[in-house]
Structure 1
Amino acid sequence: MRRGTPELGGGLGGPQDEERDPGIGGESQGDPRIQRARGGGRQRPPERPLDGHRQRHPPRSGSGALSGFPHLPLFRADGGALLRGGGDSAAWVGVEIDRGTRWEVSGVFQHPQFDLGGRRHRGVPEFYDYDVALVQLSKAVTPQLDRRPLCLPCTEGASRALRLPPAQSTCEEHRRLLLPPRALEAFFVSVSPEGQRRQQIHLQLGAQRSPCEADALRAPPYANASALDDVVTARFLCSGGADPHPDPNACRGDSGGPVIVTRGRRYFQVGVISWGVMDACGQRRAPPHARDFHVNVFEVVPWLRERLRHEDIGFLP
């Protein structure tokens, strides 16, 4: 099984005024060169989501997108040692946006139901259900016209980006629009020593979901798992494989990054990269069972709503 190094990433977001407010979810220009900052990063082109990367000491870096309320970015809960066994101290985690701009962290909040070793008695040595966390920055990052946050589903801001009346919208309506039951085009940004690269993938939904999930048991650590449900829960999205198109796979260091869907020229984060069946990086053509699993943001909205109840986010019913 391939997992990322202890690196985090992710994002929330909510647009406000679609034409003038830089706090709006990043606008898509169809540019495949979208990059995320890593290890200092590089200058970004305009009209893209507000991104950052997180470091811990000894220094390790990973990419992620910040939110429309960007002192509270959404990250993965576990990347190796991070947050395992009670969690990291905020002093061990930092976020950097663009080269040399470091933002101190004042708090790290792991999902309360994340339990890496919770199913060892069932032959599952590492269990990644609820593999998300919130990292609170000591001060907010001000969005700019050339750095816009991702949109967080199930918020009033996302409703405006979807051209829906916020007062009449529901979280379930957002799910229906952003995660329709079919092979859905999405993307993540892969990080390597050569730079960052946008990777186009397909989320296997609807009839494609079950075959995608079944390949999870081909990951070597799960050879003794008694049932697929002990490895893959309803809170995961699955990508990869060769049907309907060969998909690239996430690599070590990509774990924690956002899985993004584009709709109406806006970016919406629907997932957080968690783990993969195998390390297919460097292979010209990965085998069909090379699948990646991502935490479905819709499935952790109740926790986000509770954790962020004092933030002016405007969660939908």
Structure 2
Amino acid sequence: MKDPGERLITIGGRLLIEQSSSLIALIDPRGGLIETNPRLQQILALQPDAQSILTLLDPSSRPRFHKQIQQALAEQRAGPTTLNFTENPTAIPQSYRCYLTAAADSQLVLLAEPIAALDQHGAEEYMRVTSELSTTTRSLQKISYELTQKQHMLEDALAKIELIAHVDELTQLLNRRSIMLRLTEEVDRAKRYSSAVSILMIDIDHFKQVNDRYGHQVGDKVLRSCARLLRQSTRSTDYLGRYGGEEFLCVLPMTSEEAAVVLSERLRFSIEHAPFAAGATAFPVTISVGAAELDRQRDTFEQLLSHADSALYQAKANGRNRVEVWRA
């Protein structure tokens, strides 16, 4: 005969299992149902084809349940783990706090305690917090978008500043500071690697007369047209800049005096044969060019520039619309 205390524990335990709102079951390692308490039987009555606890689990909960089974088999006990059960095929999944305990013959005891649904106040508080989070999220997205736009505006502004710092506004060629920087770099490179570099000083002939006769707007148009023609006739490896007024400086890396003269004649020809006009009045435009090649043993970039300038002066003295080469 059982001890009264043992009988009380047995009866009390049975009553707790039968009256509990928790889901209690004896399952096999694959989740198959062996025994169930009345509350779980009520759910199974709505899903008569369910032979496994996995059938009642929301698909998102199944990987966690498999992991919990493995843990319980290895450690005798696992949990709590929050799993979502579907009490009937059309119901919203309900959350349960689940425990697993290993029993004999690799069986497991499942205890799933329902997590209480929110009361009216809790539901209202949840909706309030959710709404605030949604509003905050939208605000952050708006701020992020605005910051991205401002970043793009800043990048555009920096690009414009960079352009202004290096490019002549009227001709869109390198400005004097930038072309002089290229000149010093190429002279240093030629001396370091024993390579050739030549430069061209280019001046538009009688440009003051164009301004005086046709006005500065026509003069600006002539400068822009000459800049475009010169750029089209130079190579992609050459540097072309506005040196000042109607003068241009062209730096020719890896270029001998002979090659510089050939390029100079091409530039002169392109300008001489281009059409220029003020309204219906056509007028000729020509250039004079002074060419000089770097003497790597003796010349600095200032001396190379002076040599090209002297050759340009000689071209003008000899009648303009011509190319002259500096000779020591």
More strand by share: 1
Tell me the TM-score normalised to structure 2 length. Answer: 0.22
Normalising by structure 1, we get a TM-score of: 0.23
Q: Greater Rg, structure 1 or structure 2? A: 2
**Which of 1 and 2 has higher RCO (CA within 8 Å, sep 6+)?**
1
